[in-house]
Structure 1
Amino acid sequence: MRVPSRSPGQQPGPAVAPAAPARRLPTAGSRPPEPDPAAYRAAVTELLVEVGALADAPSTRARQVLLDQRLREPAIAAVLDATPQGFVGARETLLLEVARYQPNARSSAADLTALVRIYLLSRIDVMWWRDVPTFATDAQVNGSTDLVDLEWLRRRDLLRFRYLEQPTGVLHRGWRAVRRRVLPDATPRTAGLMFRRARREVVALLNDLGREFALAAPRGTPPLWVTSLVRSAEHQYRLRRLGYAAMVPSGHCLGWAADLEMAWFARFGARETLARLLLDRQAAGEINVVDEGQAWHICLAPAARRRLRRAYEAEMGI
């Protein structure tokens, strides 16, 4: 099966010379240009249209050919090459993820197109923070001095967002299940945070977003809701075994990513408001945004780190 071309094909009328040379795929020995997140996102968006056209099962080989070719385009290759895995590792990981993909209710990747989108756009996170060590184990997350305890901050009214912790015992899980049956829409449908810890800069970012969202959202809208923060690589692999689209490597395992509830806010007419705020931040170069359906994944950009660290210290009176 041939991969569909983006060309409109032969057109009537006299032949016209192209205004610009066609894009070339980089050769094995060529060096990708400097990474440009905006150009990368645009190229990924084009790629996703073509992946969607090959979503049926008989197109497996055509999808592999398409991905292998399009990932070599300079705008995409530059970002993948700058990740810890390098271009080859990132490409092989994506091809393996696509080959193994099985839709399930737990995964944020509702289809193959979503899987490719989530994987490729989240590579910006690991490109940005490629020199930061991964939190390999749960113990490293719980013991890190780079992370602060959200519960300590919440009790002192220093957070402008909400979250739930994962239930830790039978009684807690039972109470959560009963509450969800009695008040099914009182909170987002999320498992909650495995670790109630975060980097100081991420807390400042979420507080900033929380204040902005509170001002922009319709009256009566609940505060910003965070569904996931830092994770250990150990926990990331647990999520993968359970069927979640938990990519590796991940910005969550570096401590710089968070997931924000989106779907629940549609009940209050505030989903589009929050989406606009996040995309504006992305356009300003402060965060990376990945649409994962019910929740959107965000990652702090290195360029915003210093400003947000100062904001955290000012807010906490340090």
Structure 2
Amino acid sequence: MRVPSRSPGHQSGSFLPSTTPFRRPQPTAPTTPDVAAYRGAVLDLLVELGALTDAPSTRARQALLDDRLRDPAIVAVLDATPQGYVGARETLLLEMARYQPNGRTSAVDLTALVRIYLLSRIDVMWWRDTAPFLTDAEVDGSQELVDLEWLRRRDLIRFRYQEQPATLVGRGLRAVRRRVLPGSRPHTAGVRFRRSRREVVALLNDIGREFTATAPTGTPPLWVTSLVRSAEHQYRLRRLGYAAMVPSGHCLGWAVDVEMHWFRRFGAADVLADLLLARQEAGEVNVVDEGQAWHVCLAPAARTRLRRAYEAELGI
């Protein structure tokens, strides 16, 4: 399977609370969680969960989760998140109980919801000591973030993005553009904040340059659909029906979403997927396939190198 974070299957129906008494795994000596083993255990869980699509009762899926979430590789990562093992497990069960499919969410079924939630826990495990941006004002005023527009005007970024329209006139013009030039840009609302951490800018520039060099001739540059978000905005997205997980690497400033589906028309989607997965294999990022866009979070191990790369590009 080329993309380890995908799994087939459509899930429907309510998710029942567990009736199995939960016993927390006994603590062991502190170790660094094995992220590769975690991804493998999650994939195994997803394959089995997808096979229960036609089960007459959700209890079979509940029993499966109760068992598989006790896998030591899964326990190690979830226990290292800010919520701890119990909190992360209960949050997942609550997300499943509340799940309602809609046209906005990237979680097309329950299996996808579980996949997105569990794989995104790697982000919050990595950056558990980083304080989230709680409000929109914190994002706008943070000295830890740089203005992408300032960089773009100086030709210092190798990717594209578009901002969300702030007015009715802006939304109207966006709608007209989509009708007149369908397919000229990804079908996305745009970024709420055009700000990012310096290391993330360097990462996107690296990927953007590599993508331009390897994609078929005529392929547009790398397109970013989401950057840093405030927790305030994350909950706003949840109310609109998006699969915006909490806590999130976006709210820590270390995660972005890059467009994938749009690049199929240029024959470049597989090229981009391979680039991202190669960086994940190298331990530089965590990648979650969310359908139209892929979620990418920078790993702490790559932070120093990318900060130096950013400063070198600006001549600092």
| Same structural fold, with TM-score higher than 0.5 when normalized by the shorter chain | yes
Aligned residues of 2:25 and 2:70 also touching (Cα < 8 A) = no
Show structure 2 runs of 5+ residues with no match: 1-21
Partner of 2:167: 169
What is the 5 A alignment of 1:59-74? 59-74=57-72
Instruction: Note the residue ranges of structure 1 that are not aligned, 5 or more in a row.
Output: 1-24
User: Given the alignment of the two structures, is residue 49 of structure 1 paired with residue 47 of structure 2, yes or no?
Assistant: yes
Give 1:148's match in structure 2, choosing from 141, 146, 149. 146
Cα offsets for 1:82-103 (capped at 9, x unmatched): 0000000000000111111111
2:133 pairs with one of 126, 132, 135? 135
Distance 1:68 1:240, change over 3 A: same
Higher radius of gyration, 1 or 2: 1
Task: Tell me the equivalent position of 2:36.
Answer: 38
Q: Please tell me whether the aligned partners of residues 213 and 224 of structure 1 are also in contact (alpha carbons under 8 angstroms).
A: yes
Q: Which residue of 2 aligns with 1:29?
A: 26
Among 39, 62, 76, the alignment partner of 1:78 is 76
Query: Secondary structure at 2:257's aligned position in 1?
Result: strand
Contact 1:141 1:232 in 2 (8 A): yes
Is contact 1:163–1:227 with CA below 8 Å preserved after alignment? Answer: yes
Shift of the alpha carbon at 1:247?
A: 0.1
CA contact (8 A) 1:166 1:194 kept: yes
* Aligned residue identity for 1:257: A
2:224 match: 226
Counterparts of 1:200-219 in structure 2, within 5 Å, are 200-219=198-217
Alignment deviations for residues 77-129 of structure 1 (CA, whole Å, 9 cap, x no partner): 10000000000000000011111111101000011111000000000000000
Cα gap change, 1:94 to 1:56, in 2 (>3 Å): farther
Aligned-residue offset at 1:34 = 3.5
Preserved CA contact (<8 Å) 1:289 1:296: yes
Count of residues in correspondence between the two structures = 294
- Please give the alpha-carbon distance, in whole angstroms, between the structure 2 residues aligned to 1:26 and 1:147: 42
Aligned counterpart, 2:6 = none
Secondary structure of the corresponding residue to residue 116 of structure 2: helix
Q: Which amino acid aligns with 1:144?
A: S
Q: Give 1:65 shift.
A: 1.7
Aligned to 2:314: 316
How far does residue 26 in structure 1 lie from its aligned partner after superposition? 8.8
- Measured after TM superposition, the shift of residue 56 of structure 1 is 4.4
Matched residues in 1 for 2:73 and 2:273: separation?
A: 25
| 2:248 is equivalent to residue 246 of structure 1 | no
- Provide the residue aligned with 1:286 in structure 2: 284
Q: Is contact 1:51-1:113 (8 Å) kept?
A: yes
Cross-structure match for 2:18: none
TM-score normalised by length of structure 2: 0.91
Q: In structure 1, how many angstroms separate the alpha carbons of the residues matched to 2:273 and 2:250?
A: 20
Counterpart Cα distance in 1 of 2:147 and 2:55: 46
Report 1:244-283 matches (<5 A): 244-283=242-281
Please tell me whether the aligned partners of residues 24 and 86 of structure 2 are also in contact (alpha carbons under 8 angstroms): no
Give TM-score, length-normalised by structure 1.
Answer: 0.90
CA distance in 1, matches of 2:208, 2:262: 16
Task: Tell me the secondary structure at the aligned position of residue 224 of structure 2.
Answer: strand
Secondary structure of the 1:59 match is coil
Q: Which deviations, in whole Å up to 9, do the C-alpha atoms of 1:164-213 show, x marking residues without a partner?
A: 10000011110000000111100001000000000000000000000000
